[in-house]
Amino acid sequence: MTAADHDPAAQRVLIENCAVATVDAEGTEHARGHIVIAGNRIEAVGPGPAPAGLTGVVRRVDAAGHLATPGLVNTHHHFYQWLTRGLAQDCNLFDWLVTLYPIWARIDEPMVHAAARGSLAMMVRGGCTTAMDHHYVFPRGAGDLLGAEIRAAREIGVRFTATRGSMDRGASDGGLPPDFAVETTEDALRATERAVRDHHDPSFDSMLRIAAAPCSPFSVSTELMREAATLGRRLGVRLHTHGSETVEEEKFCHELFGMGPTAYFESTGWLGEDVWMAHCVHMSDTDIDAFARTGTGVAHCPSSNARLAAGIARVPDLLAAGVPVGLGVDGTASNESGELHTELRNALLVNRLGPHRERALTARQALRLGTYGGAQVLGREEEIGSLEAGKLADVVLWDLTGLGHSTIADPVAALVLGPPAPVALSLVNGAPVVEHGRLLTADEETIARTARTQARRLTEIAATGG
């Protein structure tokens, strides 16, 4: 497809003279290439300058010294945790959750809105164009928490997959969260259906999708797992949860269900092409085969896995088996940087500590995890995740002209292995959201100040039990 195939009256943006990593099926790269954007679609990508004679050009970007890639796609996050960063620093997952659940159970709508804006701003100014959040804490009387996140994503201008999470297994039922932090099974299912009915947009260029997302085997009843899968499929939305994150979870599942997490998920309808799971660290060969057989996706969260000492996920083996794998920031209470582009580097380095050593991942595989892999996991690979004509114009220009990248000749290696590269320009749906490292759609200082105020308010409320 070329520029001539489209409306000659369309408004166009031309990006020229940059290195281009398309992350298409062939891994096509151009040492010096161009991208033509018409409206919210990529119209042409290729080597050398843009085609001559284009009309309707409203902006021309000379991007010499920069690398163009697809926008990064985040596949797992918990925005509300922006307010509780730096706590429970030396805990494993279960101890960390037991410490923080009583605090999280005090969140309300203003807190979640402030936290979502902080989380989103941090990701977007670091090259993320598609965000995802897994929100599952809904204290009674807290307001419209999912709506607060959706509002924040619209304000920042990011493409968003919001998953309506849930928990119905409190401490009195053998779960980890306190009883006052969980919902009834019926309330959780009704709220999930309402979220889909009110907000889900399945269109090609959708800026908002909804998924059904019970939290985890240790905070959700088997009934809710089964019914949520049935509900999600009836409504035509994807399914998300946490899975196989720690050895403690493995033990919990065997004690409670008489089987490991993957077998439990399969028994409740939670394997399939419409499912993706966060972490998947402790996976046997049989587990990986089950994911590959069913097309179940994985959100790999290397920094959070390390922060909570969960272990090293078998990403090379998952990829070799054909399992879709994307990258996730995870909540910023277990990944305080809150940035997805640092996960490219961490995914590569952490996996090289595993049995595959230097052959675990390449720089280009890491970039693919953060772009096309993420799009696959979210079910949007036809729309985003690579720079190809006809796809949505989610494009990032990384500035490699500075000191930190000055002696790395390979631009993809510079991006993945070098220090965090400044974002010179980020387009979401064809609209600029970041330029020269600064967020265009909201004031960063205001976001930081409001989040700080709400974090202190949460601390005070949790301390007094108010």
226 and 102: one domain? yes
Task: Give the residue from 350, 377, 404 where a domain finishes.
Answer: 377
> Exposure of 404 by Cβ count < 10 A (0-12 exposed, 13-18 middle, 19+ buried)?
middle
In a domain, 444, yes or no: no
Contact of 52 with 59, CB cutoff 8 Å: no
Q: Which two tokens stand for residue 40?
A: 């919210």
| pTM of the predicted protein model | 0.96
In a domain, 382, yes or no: no
232 and 355: one domain? yes
What is the pLDDT, as a whole number, of residue 174? 82
403: number of Cβ within 10 Å: 7
List the CATH number of the domain containing 431: 2.30.40.10
102 and 151: one domain? yes
Query: Angle at Cα 428 formed by Cα 426 and Cα 430, nearest 5°?
Result: 95
Torsion of CA 215, 216, 217, 223, to 10 degrees: 20
In a domain, 462, yes or no: no
204 and 143: one domain? yes
85 and 63: one domain? no
List the CATH number of the domain containing 186: 3.20.20.140
In a domain, 109, yes or no: yes
93 and 61: one domain? no
In a domain, 318, yes or no: yes
pLDDT tens figures, 143-179: 999 999 999 999 999 999 999 999 999 888 888 788 8
Ordered per-residue pLDDT tens for the chain, 466 residues: 344 445 666 799 999 999 999 999 999 999 999 999 999 999 999 999 999 889 999 999 999 999 999 999 999 999 999 999 999 999 999 899 989 999 999 999 999 999 999 999 999 999 999 999 999 999 989 999 999 999 999 999 999 999 999 999 988 888 878 888 899 999 999 999 999 999 999 999 999 999 999 999 889 999 999 999 999 999 999 999 999 999 988 998 999 999 999 999 999 999 999 999 999 999 999 999 999 999 999 999 999 999 999 999 999 999 999 999 999 999 999 999 999 999 999 999 999 999 999 999 999 999 999 999 999 999 999 999 999 999 999 999 999 999 999 999 999 999 999 999 999 999 999 999 999 999 999 999 999 999 999 999 999 999 987 6
pLDDT tens figures, 35-91: 999 999 999 999 999 998 899 999 999 999 999 999 999 999 999 999 999 999 999
Q: Which two tokens stand for residue 301?
A: 């969260």
In a domain, 466, yes or no: no
139 and 223: one domain? yes
Task: Give the residue from 336, 354, 377 where a domain finishes.
Answer: 377
Cα 426 off chain centre by: 17
424: number of Cβ within 10 Å: 22
Q: Which two tokens stand for residue 117?
A: 């804006």
186 and 316: one domain? yes
- Domain tally, the chain: 2
178 and 274: one domain? yes
Q: Cα separation of 428 and 425, whole Å?
A: 10
22 and 91: one domain? no
| Helix 444-464 vs helix 93-104: crossing angle, to nearest 10 | 90
In a domain, 385, yes or no: no
Collapse the DSSP code of 15 into the 3-class scheme (helix H, G, I; strand E, B; otherwise coil) and give the result.
strand
Query: Cα-flanking dihedrals φ and ψ of residue 240, to 5°?
Result: -140, 145
In a domain, 458, yes or no: no
340 and 425: one domain? no
163 and 255: one domain? yes
Domain, as residue range, for 397: 3-70+392-439
